[in-house]
Amino acid sequence: MKFSCSTHDLLQALHLVSRAIGSQQALPILGNVLLEAEGRRCTVSATDLELSIITTFDARIENEGSITIPAKAILNFAQYNNDPEVLLETSEGTQLRCTSKHARTMISGEAASEYPTITAVDRLTSFSLKAEPFLQALHLVTFASAKSTLRPVLSGVSFLQEKDKLTLVATDSYRLSEYILETKGNGSAVSCIIPTKILDELRSILSASLKKPEEKEQEGEATEKKVPEIEVFLSKQQIEMHYGNVRLLSRLIDGKFPDYKQILPKETKTSVLFPTRELLLVVKRMHYFAKEMNNTLTFHCEKSQTKITTPQTQAGKDEAEVQAEATGGSNKIALSSSYLLDFLSHIDGEVVEMKVIDALHPALFTLSGNPQFLHLIMPLRLQEE
């Protein structure tokens, strides 16, 4: 194998696929990346056997071939090399010679045949999504999934696609996020649970790709670029997502997602419109005391304002009044300051609406101008005052 390429392109590809390399590897070779030179492009791949990431870039190929090499070693070479062009060629079968104007590096690798095979998904069904709305959906949904794998189905995101709608739902059983997107598909209904890890990696890739024009100008990138759609392919046990020249493959989570519709409030007694930034600031301040007592914050909802209080703790207590427009009767509910902080830090809207039935039912949060999204937080037991 022998090819030359842009150092920047090589480094970008390595950074991207390295997301699939975990810190704890059962097999040493899983700390490697696979390089394959064919035609006019170089393909770079990495896998941890659960998640695989593959990308390609343009290269001037003299001899086709492949090799697998330690990701840290090749990243080290590309990251600390100021030369714009590099030449990569195999030597003695499993050695990779990396050459540029001011650098000569030899990296020991292994034969490509030793690397685990990354099998493409048997595409039983497929649909496509617009990148920007999907990024927004991931930002507002994935954080609500369980961090523990004790209940595997809760450590993923439910995808339910029917006709031209895709519903994403994540929950850890104490909170829940739902977002509904438009899709273009083959008409087949889809119901599966996708590991949060693959969606978080895709979110990072999309965030970098969909930078605001002013951010791209600051970093010297082209601002006029057509945004590709995300293509999703599914089999019974796997998912494959394509975005531009990037492919992500993952196993699906086996199991049945909880029937969350039954806990969504069917009615509302009190509705309060909070200024998002003010509420976030108040919750941040009050969390200092609330965390001493099960993160409890009590909301006392009245017509023109809502009083928020913490329990009395050894550290002290806190109380705040937020000017908020309320409809319906007076109400009271206790919610987790930790979950509120997590939710409020993920939203951009100026106003957030909280809908409450009573102290025993979950609080439902929605955003003005975004009817596709809802967030639910289960109540805590009211503290005696």
Query: Which residue among 206, 239, 260 closes a domain?
Result: 260
Higher pLDDT: 142 or 369? It is: 142
Q: What is the pLDDT of residue 162?
A: 87
Residue 281 in this model has a pLDDT that exceeds 70: yes
User: 123 near 112, Cβ under 8 Å?
Assistant: no
User: 172 near 342, Cβ under 8 Å?
Assistant: no
User: 88 near 4, Cβ under 8 Å?
Assistant: yes
Q: What is the pLDDT of residues 171-221, one digit of tens each?
A: 999 999 999 999 887 667 889 999 999 999 999 999 998 875 455 555 555
Query: Taking all residues of the chain, what is their mean pLDDT, rounded to a whole number?
Result: 92
- The pLDDT confidence band at residue 124, using thresholds 50, 70 and 90, is confident
CATH number of the domain residue 317 falls in: 3.10.150.10
Does residue 284 share a domain with residue 204?
no
Decide if 382 is inside a domain: no
Q: What percent of the chain has pLDDT over 90?
A: 82
User: 8 near 84, Cβ under 8 Å?
Assistant: yes
Decide if 140 is inside a domain: yes
Does residue 132 share a domain with residue 50?
no
CB atoms within 10 A of CB 238: 19
Q: What is the pLDDT of residue 212?
A: 56
Does residue 142 share a domain with residue 251?
yes
User: What angle do the packed helices 196-209 and 131-141 form, to 10 degrees?
Assistant: 130
Q: What's the rounded Cα separation, in Å, for the pair 250 and 200? A: 12
Compute CA 345 distance to the chain's CA centroid, rounded to the nearest angstrom.
15
Q: What is the pLDDT of residue 384?
A: 66
Identity at 306, one-letter amino acid code: T
Does residue 275 share a domain with residue 249?
no
Q: What is the pLDDT of residue 186?
A: 67
Q: What is the pLDDT of residue 220?
A: 53
Encoded tokens for 333: 């509910």
Q: Which of 233, 53, 258 is nearest to 161 (CA)?
A: 233
Helix extents (H) in 93-248: 131-141, 196-209, 213-218
Decide if 60 is inside a domain: yes
Residue 306 in this model has a pLDDT that exceeds 90: yes
Helix extents (H) in the chain: 7-17, 71-79, 131-141, 196-209, 213-218, 276-290, 337-344
Q: What is the pLDDT of residues 41-98, one digit of tens each?
A: 999 999 999 999 999 999 999 999 999 999 999 999 999 999 999 999 999 889 999 9
Q: What's the rounded Cα separation, in Å, for the pair 232 and 123? A: 9
Query: Which residue among 69, 92, 114 closes a domain?
Result: 114
Q: What is the pLDDT of residue 215?
A: 52
Decide if 384 is inside a domain: no
Phi-psi region of 187 (alpha: psi -120 to 50; beta: other; left: phi over 0): left
Within 8 A by CB and 6+ apart from 148, the residues are: 155
Does residue 6 share a domain with residue 96?
yes
Q: What's the rounded Cα separation, in Å, for the pair 359 and 234? A: 42
Decide if 330 is inside a domain: yes
Give the residue numbers spanning the domain of 336: 265-377
